[in-house]
Structure 1
């Protein structure tokens, strides 16, 4: 879990993914020589802070978003949400402005719900703040802020070790409205003819999805994927014997929304481990589900 711990400590709220992008590019440069297939690395320029790794003759693309939720300093001691973070007075927030390092406390007005911070000085407007990372590991689980979606990034990077044919795309802005997958999908479709995708992200523990019972294959959230494609994935998963669960939700979304709303005929399915304490500093995922997620991605990318 050392790699996951490192990923969770790197601040990368929506719009400021560059620090994590730089880490991933360094990691790929260092680790790729030991991978089964050496990927073509596409980054910078027209891809902004996104990364595309192309292996062999790809048939399927994996999308994992780099960004996280967080807060932007407004005026005075006001904060504005980035995405949909849980808010509770007392949460520790960290960041940096031109005056130095910041380790402050989130405040929530009981009457108005207005967000602010307590700190020894006024923080410069526009500064991004993220949850302070307190990474905890036991025999059964890992717990930290930003497992959504650092765990998806972790799984995608571990997938690269054995991937022979496929594309792994690291996207931006997912937590705050999206925007990058549209141009990534367009490029991938036109350049490589790939039009089937897996969304490598983290979902929720609910009354029907339980920690420790395997990775989740989502049948729907606020969007509905094409059933014939999802059934292919279910058939491969069943044949593999890897523990997995089925999810049916009426809300929520992911990078898939840009695939479905785009001009290209993409098929997609969300496949990811479930977490509890969603969008808090204390997100928690069962290690059995992490193992299931990685193994299922390895099988799906061979078989699809």
Structure 2
């Protein structure tokens, strides 16, 4: 297996754990376990955001945020034949859901299921027919009476997919955004005796509207915020160079904009200067569509200077997302260097 310059086993554990929006508790348990020994205090709120704080030598504070949730589904009905219909939590392309394995989380434990696909022998499905998530049926392989007894409206459904090393890359479900949660935990291990207070926030419900990040303003009032998230890498056959957004293996993404935010120019310029000074591979991200916690943090704190470090990822919002090991390492190095050189004296006003 490929050898990575980071704790690959922890990344696998995070990405293979199930945590749909609003129900991130199993992921939060891992984050709490890993974060608690590295911080001075740790708290959670009524939405489920988890914040670990390393106290600095000044009142100036920096928030580093990464969302814990993955796109998933909620059970909306069990029909008379025992098939489960679902509602989307986050952005899905229904066309990719055929023949996928899923995990149904019930009060009595998890149940494996499949989203079936009618075989071509019968011609039962029209490839040109437009489908929605509401057309999807989950088959649990159980009698209807058993399904009705064990599965309830509101139960959560997530993709069942192992995380695997893929050449120099890592592939699996929930790379978005557990890879960023992983990076945040690595930063907490590295940052010791900072000049400023650092809040490490694992946020919730990003995939359904940046909700956890916006709510953080109730309890945390930082002077600066840095979000960690995945971004599009369309560096595959069929796309023009200008549509790549980012490229795998080319380094950490420094976000300039997405649909939710235009990052503070002084923040992203300082990220660039650090990357150049430290010889950390980096690239710039201009994302035409899609938002991140960066925007949620900026909104909730008014005129807060924000920046973001992004992990280039192919096949986002599918069960086979792919990130490059070198890019993950570069994102850790860049954000760590940024935090280690933040002393509260930088002027980010425009």
TM-score, structure 2 as length reference: 0.78
Structure 2 residue aligned with 1:13: 20
Equivalent pair of 1:80/1:115 in contact (CA under 8 Å): no
Equivalent pair of 1:51/1:170 in contact (CA under 8 Å): yes
Listed as ranges, the gaps of 5+ residues in structure 2 are 1-7, 79-83, 118-124, 235-243, 343-350
Question: Aligned pair in 2 of structure 1 residues 263, 215: CA closer, same or farther (>3 Å)?
Answer: closer
Question: Aligned pair in 2 of structure 1 residues 302, 14: CA closer, same or farther (>3 Å)?
Answer: same
Structure 2 residue aligned with 1:154: 182
Structure 1 residue aligned with 2:155: 127
**Higher deviation after alignment, 75-84 or 110-119:** 110-119
1:169 is aligned to 2:201: yes
Question: Aligned pair in 2 of structure 1 residues 99, 3: CA closer, same or farther (>3 Å)?
Answer: closer
Distance 2:76 2:116 in 1: 14
Match of 1:259 among 285, 297, 301: 297
Structure 1 residue aligned with 2:239: none
Structure 2 residue aligned with 1:183: 215
Structure 2 residue aligned with 1:90: 99
Structure 1 residue aligned with 2:136: 115
Structure 1 residue aligned with 2:43: 42
Match of 1:144 among 147, 172, 175: 172
Structure 1 residue aligned with 2:111: 102
Match of 2:73 among 54, 66, 71: 71
Equivalent position SS for 1:161: helix
Deviations 1:76-106 (A, max 9, x none): 3321111013432111111232465321122
RMSD: 1.9
Equivalent pair of 1:186/1:264 in contact (CA under 8 Å): no
Question: Aligned pair in 2 of structure 1 residues 179, 138: CA closer, same or farther (>3 Å)?
Answer: closer
Distance 2:232 2:288 in 1: 13
Once the two structures are TM-superposed, the CA of residue 182 in structure 1 deviates from its matched residue by 2.2
Listed as ranges, the gaps of 5+ residues in structure 1 are none
Aligned residues: 292
Equivalent position SS for 2:34: helix
Once the two structures are TM-superposed, the CA of residue 235 in structure 1 deviates from its matched residue by 1.8
Pairs within 5 Å for 1:208-287: 208-222=245-259, 223-287=261-325
